[in-house]
Amino acid sequence: MNFEEFLNWAESQNPIFSRQIPYVLAYGEPGVYFVRDLMLLMAFEEDSNEVRLGFLDLRKRVLLAAESCEALEEDSTLWAEADDVPWPGYTTKFAFSVYPIGCEGGHAYGFVAVKINTTSEKLFFNWGAVAYSLLRDRAEEYLQELNRKIRVVDAVEVV
């Protein structure tokens, strides 16, 4: 699948606006949602009291030197913490990774993603805005760190 095909698929997923995310997390079905105003693809799943969130930034495209896509998402994952996120006094643990959509000719290509694990008591926060902020402010640093681990051939932000 190429970038345009993936974007067409992403835009066909349950469309929502970022202000609806707390409601969807609290009352919606786990699954995949297209966050129209932020150009993010959101997926979430619940397990007991834990909620796992993933957001793909559909504007940040990455090309990596990789022989296969197998385990690439796991290999590209780097964990970090953000203080005072989503609110002063809170600390949020999150991970950046590359979500691969294809591999060919010794290269893998995909989107930058951020993953956040939270609890059902914190679903009222707008995690889409948090993810967007993390992707905007920390993706370049992530890609520099990733380049030390896996060679980043190219990274572009489509506006």
pLDDT single digits (tens) 60-74: 999 998 888 888 899
Could you write out the DSSP letters of every residue in 21-86? HHHHHHHSPSEEEEETTTTEEEEEEEETTEEEEEEEEEEEEEEEE-S-STTHHHHT-EEEEEET-S
Tokens of 93: 């643990």
Q: What is d(CA 115, CA 97) in angstroms, rounded to the nearest whole number?
A: 8
pLDDT above 80 for 1: yes
| Interval 19-67: pLDDT, tens | 999 999 989 899 999 999 999 999 999 988 889 999 999 999 999 988 8
For residue 77, give the amino acid letter: T
Instruction: List, in order, residues 6 or more apart from 133 with CB less than 8 Å away.
Output: 85
Q: Identity (one letter) of the amino acid at 113?
A: A
- The DSSP letter of residue 150 is S
What is the reported pTM? 0.91
pLDDT in tens, 80-124: 998 888 878 888 899 999 999 999 888 999 999 999 998 888 888
Say how many Å lie between the first and final Cα of the chain, rounded: 21
Asked whether the beta carbons of 86 and 96 are under 8 A apart, the reply is no
Name residue 47's amino acid.
D
